[in-house]
Amino acid sequence: MAASGGAARRCWRSGAGLARALRGICGSGRATAAVRAEELAERLRKSEEQQREIPKDPTQRWLRELAAMSQQLQQVHPNVLAKILKQRTLYQNEEIVVIDKPYGLPVHGGPGIKNCIADVLPILAKMLENMKAEPLHLCHRLDKETTGVMVLARSKEAAEKIRLLFKTRQVEKIYWAIVLGDPDPVEGVVEIPIVEKEVQSHQSHYKMTLAPNYRLCPEDGKVMKIRGNRHAERAVTRYRRLAAASACSLLELQPITGVKHQIRVHLAYGLGCPILGDHKYSHWSKLAPQKLPELTLRRLKLEQSKARHLPLHLHAHRLCLPLGQPLDFVCKLPLFFQKTLRKLELDIPKD
Q: Where are the alpha helices (DSSP H) in 215-274?
A: 262-265
The span from the CA of 275 to the CA of 16, in Å, is 77
Provide the 10 A C-beta neighbour count for residue 152: 25
CB 254 within 8 A of CB 262: no
Phi, psi (deg, nearest 5) at residue 7: -65, -40
Give CA 166 to chain center in angstroms.
25
Three-point CA angle 24, 25, 30, nearest 5°? 95
Give CA 348 to chain center in angstroms.
23
143 is an active site residue? yes
The span from the CA of 179 to the CA of 243, in Å, is 11
The span from the CA of 74 to the CA of 81, in Å, is 9
CB 70 within 8 A of CB 76: no
The span from the CA of 177 to the CA of 316, in Å, is 9
The span from the CA of 342 to the CA of 351, in Å, is 18
The active-site residue out of 119, 143, 182, 184 is 143
The span from the CA of 327 to the CA of 46, in Å, is 55
The span from the CA of 134 to the CA of 121, in Å, is 9
Which residues participate in catalysis according to the annotation? 143
